[in-house]
Amino acid sequence: MFDIEALLSQVRIIMEQVIKTVEFVFAFTLLAGIVVLLAALQTTHAERAYESGLLSSLGANRRQILASLSAEFITLGLIAGVLAAFAATAVEMVLAEFVLKIDVSINPWVWLIAPIICTVIILIGGLAGTRSALQTPPMLVLRKL
C-alpha cells in the first residue's frame, strides 16, 4: 500500500521549490531588465541632453519635454508588457501541453497586469535616468552648433 498523504506532501514540497525558483528567476530577470534600461539611457544621455537643450532653446518648457519623454517611456513599457504577456502565455501553453500534459488555462489577467507593471517600471526608471539630461542649459547646446 502507498501512503497517499506522504506522496501528496512530497509533491507539495517539490511544487513550493519550483515556485520559489520561478519567482527568483522572475526577480532576477526584472532586475536585469532595469539595469539594461539604465545602461541604455546612459549611452543616449548626451543625445537626450542635446535634444532637451535644443527643444528648450526653441521654446519648449520643461513640462513639454517631460511629457514627450513620458510618452516615449509609456510606449516602450506597453510594448514590453505585451511582449512579456505573450511570452508568458506561450511558455504556459508549452509547459501545460508538452511537459505537464494538462489542459491549458490561459490567465487573462496576465494581459492586463504585465503591460501596466512594465509601463510603470519603465516610466519611473526612464524618467529617473533622464533627469539630468533635462537640466541641460540651452546655451551649451547652441555653443556646440
At 39-66, the pLDDT tens digits run: 888 888 888 888 888 888 888 888 999 9
Pick 144 or 35 by higher pLDDT. 35
Supply 128's cell numbers.
529617473
Per-residue pLDDT, averaged over 2-9, amounts to: 83
- Residue 73: predicted pLDDT: 93
Per-residue pLDDT, averaged over 61-80, amounts to: 92
Burial environment of residue 78 by CB neighbours within 10 A (0 to 12, 13 to 18, 19 or more): middle
- Residue 75: predicted pLDDT: 94
pLDDT tens, residue by residue, 108-144: 888 899 899 989 999 998 898 888 888 878 887 778 7
Q: What are phi and psi of 58, to 5 degrees?
A: -90, 0
Residue 94 has pLDDT above 90, yes or no: no
106: left (phi over 0), alpha (psi -120 to 50) or beta: beta
Whole-prediction pTM: 0.75
CB 45 within 8 Å of CB 133 = yes
CB 108 within 8 Å of CB 138 = no
